[in-house]
Amino acid sequence: MNFVALQGAVAQGVLWGIMVLGVYITYRLLNISDLTVDGSFALGGCVCATLIINFGMNPILALVIAALAGMAAGAATGILHTVFEIPAILAGILTQISLWSVNLRVMSGKSNMPLLKTETLISAVGSKLGITQAQSAMIVGVIVAILIVVTLYWFFGTELGSALRATGNNEFMIRALGVDTNRMKLIALMLANGLVALSGALVCQNQKYADINMGRGAIVIGLAAIVIGEVLFSKVINFGFKLASVVVGAVVYFLIRAIVLDFGLNTNDMNLFTALFVAAALSIPVFMAKYRAKHDYSETVEEDEV
C-alpha cells in the first residue's frame, strides 16, 4: 500500500472522527442508540454544498450553519423522544427517514452536488501551504478535532455537562436530585448531531461533492471506531483522553479499511465487512469477561478444596 493512500485514509479517519465524537456522546454517555446519525451526516454535507455553490458563502461560515442544521435534526429526534415519548431508537429512525426528503429539498431535488470548481476550506489551506488535498485535510481535521475535544472536556466538567453525564449513568438518581432529564437528553442529542453534521460538511469539502447517500452506514462506522478506541486505550481513565481515543479509533478503522481494500476486497462488500468487524469487536470483550469469570471461579473452588 502506497504512502499517498495511507495519507488519504488518515485524513478520512480524522474528519469522520468528529462524527464519532457525536456518536460517543449518545451511545456511551447517554446510553441511547441514535440512528439520526446517517441522516444528519448527509444533512451537514448537503447544507454545506448548497450554501457554498448557490449562495457563494464562506466555507467556514457554511460549516457553522451545517452544524446548526445538524443540531436542529437532533432537536427533532429529542422532541419525538422526550415530548411524545417515542422510544429513542424509533425516534432516530423517523428523523433519519425524514432527512432523506429534507436533504433532497436542500439540494433542489438533486441527488448530488459537485464542488469541483469551488474553493473550500481544505483546498484553500492546501493552496496556501503548497500541500496535497489529503495533507490539508489532515491538518484541518486535527485542528478541528483538538478544538472540539478540548471544548467537550471543558463542557462535561461544568454543572450542566456533569448533569448530562449523570443522566446517562443513572437517570432515576439524577431525576431525584431535581434535574430535568428530558432536557438533558435533548441537549445531548442536539450536541451530538451538530458534531455529526459538522463532520459531514468537512467530508463534503474534502471530497468536493455532497451526496444524498454519503451518510449511509455512518452509525456502524461510529460504533466500530468507538470500540477500536476503547480497546486501544482500555487502561485510560482521563475523560479527555477517552474523547481523543474515539478519533484515533476512527483513524485506525479507515487505515484497516484501506489495507483490506488494498488486498482486493470488493468495495460492495465493505458494509458487510464493517458489520462483521463491529459484531466481533463487541462480542470478544463479552467472551473474555465470561472466560475470566469462569477462570476466577475455578481457582476459588480449587483453593476452597485445598
* Residue 59: domain span: 3-215
Residue 285 counted as domain residue = no
Report the C-alpha gap between 179 and 111 in whole angstroms.
Answer: 43
Q: How confident is the model at residue 192 (pLDDT cuts 50, 70, 90)?
A: very high
Nine-digit cell at 211? 451526496
The lowest-confidence range among 143-152, 199-208, 224-233 is 224-233
Average pLDDT over residues 181-201: 97
Domain presence at residue 141: yes
* 293 lies in some domain: no
Instruction: Report the 10 Å Cβ neighbour count for 281.
Output: 18
Q: Do the domain assignments include residue 130?
A: yes
Domain assignment of residue 276, yes or no: no
Q: How confident is the model at residue 269 (pLDDT cuts 50, 70, 90)?
A: confident
Structural domains in the chain (count) = 1
Q: Cell triple for residue 32?
A: 441511547
Q: How far apart are CA 134 and CA 138, in angstroms?
A: 6
Task: Determine whether 60 is exposed, middle or buried from the number of CB atoms within 10 Å of its CB (0-12, 13-18, 19+).
Answer: exposed
Structure confidence by residue, pLDDT tens digits, 84-128: 999 999 999 999 999 999 999 999 999 999 998 899 999 999 999
The whole-model pTM stands at 0.94
Is residue 31 in some structural domain?
yes
Are 67 and 73 contacting, i.e. CB atoms less than 8 angstroms apart? no
Nearest to 28 by CA among 286, 289, 282: 282
Q: Is residue 25 part of a domain?
A: yes
Q: Looking at the domain assignment, is residue 238 inside a domain?
A: no
Task: Encode pLDDT of 44-92 as tens digits.
Answer: 999 999 999 999 999 999 999 999 999 999 999 999 999 999 999 999 9
